[in-house]
Structure 1
């Protein structure tokens, strides 16, 4: 279910000049912020949790997910290049799964890894905060990649809808509206971070079993629907 040629083409699309600049800029900003905070405040566990939770997980991870998830397939649909890919003897679910794996890989590298490094810079991983948030960023990357890959498949305005979801739903409603927190990828991921860090500085409104279940269900559902939509595009192209 993994196609090397599709993967190579997707990597090239995601790491093109414009997207690469944004992908490197967000982690770079996090690392600069971590260095500045450490120099100004020293090693402070609460400050480290605030930076990693408030910027890394709440802002950087979903934005990287938007870039990677929508960029994995959206541009090919917009410019019509998807027709050439669909003409190849490759199963449509294989195309979607391959692009999902690539999107997850890119999102993890550009979000979870910088989060881990920033955590060590901020407080040396005291109370497992760096590892906790890096793990949360990694599992959130899976769900975000699935969701935003779906957006890229169903609409030409995937980036706009992705940004609205990431910045409005996740960052605003997911943090401020109690009922919406249960439906927030960020909160699901924080359940894992809370387990690793032992609570206290890292908390989630969702229990770990429910959070991990929802992450898997949303990712699987988004992937299935994206593959289903791609089959529809094939039929339309054939007509």
Structure 2
């Protein structure tokens, strides 16, 4: 369920000049903030938790997910070049799963790795905070990639809707409104961080079993529906 040619083309599209610049900027900002905070306040577990949870997981990770998830297929659908890919003897679920794999990989590299580095910079991974948030970023990367890949197949305004979701729902409502937290990918990922570092003071509004089920459900449902949506696209001249 993976095609190397589709993967290569998707990587090339995601890591082109414009998207690569955005992908590099967000982790660079996180690292710079972490260095500045460490120089100003020293190693502080509470501050590390605020930076990694309040900025990185709540804002940076979903934004990178928007860029990678929608960028993996949205532009091809928008400009019509998807027809050249659909004309090849490839099952459309294979195309979706390949693009999802690439989007997940890109999101993980540009979110989980900088998260881990930032955690070590902030407090030297005291109480496993850096590792815990990196694990959360990995889990969130999978769900966000599937969610935004689906969005890229159903809407020509996928980036706009994705940004609204990332900035308003995940970064704002999902962080501040108690009742909405249970429906936030951020909170589901935090459940994994809480389990990874039980003594670090990380807390999620969702229990780990429920969080794991919800993360898996969003990923599977997003990939399935995206594949179904892609199957409804017809080439010129098809009956």
Counterpart CA distance in 1 for 2:29 and 2:102 is: 23
CA contact (8 A) 1:190 1:203 kept: yes
Mark the runs of 5 or more structure 1 residues left unpaired by the alignment: none
Provide TM-score, normalisation by structure 1: 0.98
- Measured after TM superposition, the shift of residue 80 of structure 1 is 0.4
CA contact (8 A) 1:83 1:237 kept: no
Kindly report the root-mean-square deviation, in angstroms, between the aligned alpha carbons of the 2 structures: 1.1
Counterpart CA distance in 2 for 1:143 and 1:236 is: 33
- Measured after TM superposition, the shift of residue 234 of structure 1 is 2.8
Provide TM-score, normalisation by structure 2: 0.98
Aligned length: 239
Counterpart CA distance in 2 for 1:238 and 1:54 is: 49
1:139 is matched with 139
Counterpart CA distance in 1 for 2:190 and 2:212 is: 10
Counterpart CA distance in 1 for 2:199 and 2:234 is: 48
Counterpart CA distance in 1 for 2:24 and 2:201 is: 28
Query: What is the correspondence of 1:142-153 to structure 2 with a 5 Å cutoff?
Result: 142-153=142-153
2:25 is matched with 25
Counterpart CA distance in 2 for 1:163 and 1:96 is: 22
CA contact (8 A) 2:129 2:200 kept: no
Mark the runs of 5 or more structure 2 residues left unpaired by the alignment: none
Query: What is the correspondence of 1:41-56 to structure 2 with a 5 Å cutoff?
Result: 41-56=41-56
1:127 is matched with 127
- Measured after TM superposition, the shift of residue 176 of structure 1 is 1.7
Counterpart CA distance in 2 for 1:139 and 1:116 is: 14
2:67 is matched with 67
Compared CA separation, residues 71 and 130, structure 1 to 2 (3 A): same
- Measured after TM superposition, the shift of residue 238 of structure 1 is 2.3
Does residue 109 of structure 1 match 2:109? yes
More divergent stretch after superposition (69-78 vs 173-182): 173-182
Compared CA separation, residues 236 and 25, structure 1 to 2 (3 A): same
Runs of 4+ deviating beyond 6 Å: none
- Measured after TM superposition, the shift of residue 235 of structure 1 is 6.3
Counterpart CA distance in 2 for 1:60 and 1:92 is: 31
Query: What is the correspondence of 1:1-239 to structure 2 with a 5 Å cutoff?
Result: 1-234=1-234, 238-239=238-239
- Measured after TM superposition, the shift of residue 179 of structure 1 is 1.5
